[in-house]
Amino acid sequence: MTVTTAAGRSTGRSAPGSGPGPRPGPLHGPWFLVLPALLPILFLSVGPLLYGVALAFTDAQSGRTQATGWIGSLNFRDLLHDTLFWDSFRIGLVWAVGVTVPQFLLSLGLALLLNQRLRLRWLARALAIVPWAMPEVVVGIMWRLVYNPDAGVLNETLRDLGLGEGRVWLGGLATALPAVVVVGVWAGMPQTTVALLAGVQNTPRELHEAAALDGAGAWQRFRAVTWPALRPVALAISALNLIWNVNSFALVYVLTGGGPGGRTRLPMLFAYEEAFRYGQFGYAAAMGCVMVAVVSVLLALYLVGRLKEDQDR
């Protein structure tokens, strides 16, 4: 807006306080607000990931006196013929599915139970999340004591019940992987239970009451009322658990270290040994890239499924 003088002439200048004012610079936009959260992700996640991908195309080794050289896709070609890695990959899939499925079923039952009007329900809910507060290393040490072949709680119980002298659970070729899977299920149940309990509590109680008045039993009410409302939460937590279990490392490392005879050697354990026991950094980085690709495929399948489900609504 222009300013007009007493003589009626326009000066062409804007009046004070009028007009849009100076446009904010880039540092005053939304990027400036997310910058404190974005920088740690870039430096601690994206940066190491890109460095690891680049390392997979080199012959990097520990203790080398020569400079690291670029070898292209040689590490990946060697990986295709590495039967030990593919054995560990198969064990990793058995572990991930063997933990995720029972974990979901048991957590679903526990969530439905904790949703009932029980005496001391608050205490039961508090005890259900205790494993969640324990670090994986502590969980592994505790369960090593439980599985101890000489004085472990499990073998002592079997002896007291007259069911034999017990077994070497973590050291047996046939029992090591099932024993580790049991620990994985126990350790991962709290977060799954909490997520499913939240989904169950969001189901309108009026629908349950209406179904009960129509003569629907408990299973019919679950199938027709509870599960449709719970399905998005169930799919989300199951996908996240599967991705988390594929990347498992600390729990199995503390329990068995990948033994006996490689029966519990997960892919991440195999990559760890190649990098820090044998010093093959480039080869281990190639293994890491394969695992990132697998996790990306799982995540993409989950996102596509959620997108289709949202479109169908």
Higher pLDDT, 267 or 209: 267
Across 25-29, 148-152, 165-169, 242-246, least confident range: 25-29
Burial 250-265 (b: 16+ CB within 10 A, else e): ebbbbbbebebebbbb
Higher pLDDT, 88 or 208: 88
Q: Which pLDDT does position 69 carry in this prediction?
A: 86
Question: What does pLDDT average to over the chain?
Answer: 84
Alpha helices in the chain (DSSP H): 30-41, 47-55, 74-80, 83-114, 121-128, 136-146, 153-160, 176-201, 205-213, 218-221, 227-246, 250-255, 267-276, 281-312
d(CA 226, CA 199): 9
Give the burial class of 282: count Cβ atoms within 10 A of its Cβ; 0-12 exposed, 13-18 middle, 19 or more buried. buried
Most confident of 149-153, 168-172, 181-185, 198-202: 181-185
> What share of the chain in percent tops pLDDT 70?
89
> Which one is predicted more confidently, 65 or 23?
65
Q: Compare 164 and 12 and report the one with higher pLDDT.
A: 164
Residue 278: which of 81, 79, 63, 52 has the closest Cα? Answer: 63
Residues 6+ apart with CB under 8 A from 304: none
pLDDT confidence bin for 125, thresholds 50/70/90: confident
**Torsion, Cα of 96, 99, 103, 105 (10° steps):** 90
d(CA 151, CA 31): 58
Contact 268, 291 (CB under 8 A): yes
Question: Is a pLDDT exceeding 50 seen at residue 5?
Answer: no
pLDDT band at 25 (very low <50, low <70, confident <90, very high): low
The pLDDT assigned to 236 comes to: 87
Nearest CA among 11, 58, 14, 88 for reference residue 252: 88
Percent residues over pLDDT 90 in the chain: 41
Tell me: the pLDDT tens digits for 66-114?
778 899 899 999 999 999 999 999 999 999 999 999 999 999 999 988 8
pLDDT at 28: 59
Q: Is there a contact between 116 and 125 (Cβ–Cβ < 8 Å)?
A: no
Contact 141, 251 (CB under 8 A): no
Task: Tell me whether residue 162 is exposed, middle or buried, using C-beta atoms within 10 angstroms of its C-beta: 0 to 12, 13 to 18, 19 or more.
Answer: exposed
For residues 241 and 55, the answer to whether their CB atoms sit within 8 Å is no
